[in-house]
Structure 1
Amino acid sequence: MAGPDLPERVRAALGDRRTREVKMFGGISFMVDERMVAAARGDGDLLLRIDPARREDLLARPGAHEALMGEGRSMGPGWLAVDEAALTGAGLAEWLGHALDFREPG
Structure 2
Amino acid sequence: MAYDEVLADRIREVLAEVDGVTERKMFGGLGFMVHGHMAAAAASEGALMVRVDPAAGAEWVDGESVRPMEMGNRTLNGWLLVARDELEDDSSLRTWVSRGVAFVQALPPK
List alignment gaps of at least 5 residues for structure 2.
Answer: none
Give me the whole-angstrom Cα distance separating, in 1, the residues matched to 2:95 and 2:46.
Answer: 17
Residue pairs, 1:13-92, within 5 angstroms:
13-17=14-18, 18-60=20-62, 63-70=65-72, 72-76=73-77, 78-89=78-89, 90-92=91-93
Query: Any idea what the Cα deviations from partners look like across 1:48-76, whole Å, max 9, x if unmatched?
Result: 11001102211138621110113x42112
Q: Which moved more, 1:46-55 or 1:59-68?
A: 59-68
TM superposition shift of 1:3: 3.9
| Cα RMSD for the two superposed structures | 1.9
TM-score normalised by structure 1 residue count: 0.85
Q: Give the number of the structure whose residues are more often strand, by fraction.
A: 2
Give me the whole-angstrom Cα distance separating, in 2, the residues matched to 1:75 and 1:61.
Answer: 15
Give me the whole-angstrom Cα distance separating, in 1, the residues matched to 2:34 and 2:63.
Answer: 24
SS at match of 1:74: strand
Aligned residue pair count: 104
Partner of 1:98: 99
Question: Which stretches of structure 1, 4 residues or longer, exceed 6 Å deviation after superposition?
Answer: none
Give me the whole-angstrom Cα distance separating, in 2, the residues matched to 1:29 and 1:39.
Answer: 4
Q: Percent identity?
A: 34
